[in-house]
Structure 1
Amino acid sequence: MDSTQTFRATPLSRIADPSREASLARLEALAHLLDSAFLIPGINRRVGLEALIGLVPVVGDLVGLVISSYIVGEARRLGAPRWLLGRMALNVAFDGAIGIVPLAGDLFDAAFKANIRNVRLLRRWMERSGGVRPNEIEGTAVRIDG
């Protein structure tokens, strides 16, 4: 090694933080509970608590909106950029606005799954920024027969 080479330390913000991964895991579990925790027999469709809560007129939709907003708030706490928070907020607002419509809104809410979308967006951003380890390995698998 010659004396002109310098080494730069990896910034702490780029190292996967176990507490950030734990927060993301909790958000993924919450999103699953809200959007796809239960299987409807016969039609093999998954729905979550938010769709069931949304069956209660107005109050159920507001409760679902507040819980979905919690995920956006946690994304802010985790350092998500404004553009990502805006996209997540639009998903929540769209879900809430359509969800207010009786019956059709509830069917839409069961299909749109805004919380899972938002947590997936957050995970992708956190993986790209180095905040968490990738959930999936990117690449191509090649079978080698020996």
Structure 2
Amino acid sequence: MAKPDVEESQPAVIISGVRARILRFYERFLDLIVVVLIFVMLITLLASVVGVVWDVYETILSFREEAAIQGLVADVLSVFVLIELFRTFTDYLEFHRIRLRVLSEVAIVFVLRELFIGLYAHRLGPMDLIATAVLLAVLIGARIAAVQYAPKNPERD
């Protein structure tokens, strides 16, 4: 009688062993993709910093041109967005999840970038400002909630 129970439990063990191998392969493959994306982001970040340095040089040469200054402001703010995205990818590689706090910070930086560029270029109307303020309030609320209700287990956070 004990023999059929052992035979019935063995396929379940084999299936779970195969499932575990597939999940490990999947996790390793995702880690590889994220590492490649991190290198791409690092190259992009370095290219952006070089671009900002070049824009500073061009802005100094043509300081009176409004377009050059606007381009410099946009490029500097874009570097901050790339830094936040870089941090998101490295956090994913470390924790194997995207934390809401970090994602909301990326979104806040991106919205602030667009707000600053729009304000500097004088192309935002009152409704645009109200919509942006509401969006920022929601994102800041999401970040506060993510910090307030973060997992208590330090290994997972």
Task: Return the TM-score normalized by structure 2.
Answer: 0.34
Give the greater-gyration-radius structure (CA): 2
Q: Kindly indicate which of the two structures has a greater share of residues assigned to strand.
A: 1
Higher normalized contact order (CA 8 Å, seq sep 6+, divided by chain length): 1
Could you state the TM-score of these two structures normalised by the residue count of structure 1? Answer: 0.36
Higher helix share: 2
